Amino acid sequence: MASKSFSQTVADSDAANLKLLQGDAAPLRELYSHGAGITVLGGFGGLERGWTEVGPRLDWAAAQFAGGSYARETIAMVEGEDLAYTVSVERNRVREAGKAEEVQLDLRVTQIYRRENGQWRLVHRHADPLVAKKAP
C-alpha cells in the first residue's frame, strides 16, 4: 500500500467524521491506530484508552447520529517526521438518532497522528463544545 501524505490523511479524516455523523464508524475505525496507546476524549465526554475501549466507543458515537453535515476550519496543522496534529473547529449540523430535526454541533477539536509502518494513523482525539469566550 502506498503511503498517503498527511494532508490526504486529514482529508480522509474529514470524510470519516462525516460518515460518523451519518451513523457509520467504519471509515474512522480504519483511520485509527489499533495500538494500546491511543486515546479519545470525545464530544460525548469520558475517556477511552487503547483500541479495546476506543473501537466500541466509535461505534456507540456513530449510533447516536442519523445524518448531518460536517465542516472543519483549520486553526493549526503541524506535520513532523513521525508525529503530526490538527487543531480545528468543527461546525456540524446533526440529526440525532430518533429525532427529526437537525441541530448545530460546534466542537473544538485536537487530533494527533503518528506514522506507523509508513502510514499516518490517528492516535488521539479531543473534542469539546465550542463555547463563547468570556471577557477577562
**In sequence order, what E strands does 1-136 have?**
39-41, 48-49, 65-79, 83-96, 102-116, 119-129
CA distance 130 to 97: 22
Q: What is the tens place of the pLDDT at every residue in 59-109?
A: 999 999 998 999 999 999 999 999 999 999 999 999 888 888 989 999 999
What CATH number belongs to 6-129? Answer: 3.10.450.50
What's the predicted TM-score (pTM) here? 0.92
**In the chain, alpha helices (H):** 6-21, 26-31, 51-63
Radius of gyration of the chain, Cα coordinates, nearest whole angstrom: 15
CA distance 47 to 107: 17
